[in-house]
Amino acid sequence: MLLAGLRSRKRIAELMDDPALNPAEHRRALAALVRLNRFSNTAGVLWRPILKLANELQRTVRVLDVATGSGDVPRKLAEKAKRADVSLEIAGCDISATAIEEATRQPSGVEFFVHDAVHDRLPTGFDVVTCSLFLHHLSEEDAIALLTNMENATRHLILINDLARSRFNYCAAWIACHLFTRSRIVRFDGPASVRSAFTPKEALTLTERAGLHGATAQSKFPCRYLLSWRRV
């Protein structure tokens, strides 16, 4: 019955978005997300198009990761850039002060700041704006506002890595969240995220509605898609 309902999108409020969430529990959930991102190779998926752009531009590439959580993805991107001898200037923002406190705990060369990426304009002048596991949190109107903000902030590229809604992915997320963590937040939010997620086709429709024409979406293991939009 529940699985049949996955044909249409149903937004479920995630525990991690609760402003009253206990900071210790919030930090445990962020740590679990780090493990899930490592398993999903999130930074690797984002790195390939960033490297391609860096090779084209032949100068320092400025990257902003919005809704960055504890910042593991931009930190990993910085490490990859260092190993590949690519000059990358990278920043991350999140609405949560607890997340940004976690992100800045370890020195990484990444600049982190608190920012509401849906309701407040993002700083400009970035070459790439990335966003991972956040689009599915939003109503269609807020998703379009986020995409518009990301477009204003980037000179070249938008990359959105998110869960794709499907029955298979719902079951896979349930299993992964019970294998990788005991955090009750992640165990609830993981499957709820797939229930709330857009299909790649729905995400592409949103980008069109935001005026970002010509975006593409590729399926990525596990359970995700990568939506890319390049300014022409």
Binding site for ligand SAM (CB under 6 A): 16-17, 33, 37, 42, 66-69, 73, 94-96, 99, 116-118, 132-134, 137
Residue with tokens 């869960």: 163
Cβ proximity to ligand SAM, 32 vs 53, nearer residue: 32
Query: Which residue minimizes CB distance to ligand SAM?
Result: 69
Task: Work out how close the CB of 56 gets to ligand SAM at its nearest, in angstroms, rounded to a whole number.
Answer: 26
Q: Parallel, antiparallel, or unpaired: how do β-strands 224-230 and 154-163 relate? A: antiparallel
Cβ proximity to ligand SAM, 53 vs 66, nearer residue: 66
Task: Work out how close the CB of 33 gets to ligand SAM at its nearest, in angstroms, rounded to a whole number.
Answer: 4
Cβ proximity to ligand SAM, 42 vs 183, nearer residue: 42
Cβ proximity to ligand SAM, 58 vs 217, nearer residue: 217
Cβ proximity to ligand SAM, 45 vs 99, nearer residue: 99
Give burial (CB, 10 Å; 0-12/13-18/19+) of 97: exposed
Question: How many angstroms separate the CA atoms of 205 and 220, rounded?
Answer: 19
Q: Parallel, antiparallel, or unpaired: how do β-strands 126-132 and 154-163 relate? A: parallel
| Gyration radius of the chain over CA positions | 17
Task: Work out how close the CB of 30 gets to ligand SAM at its nearest, in angstroms, rounded to a whole number.
Answer: 7
Task: Work out how close the CB of 85 gets to ligand SAM at its nearest, in angstroms, rounded to a whole number.
Answer: 26
By the 8 A CB rule, do 24 and 185 touch?
no
Question: How many angstroms separate the CA atoms of 52 and 5, rounded?
Answer: 39
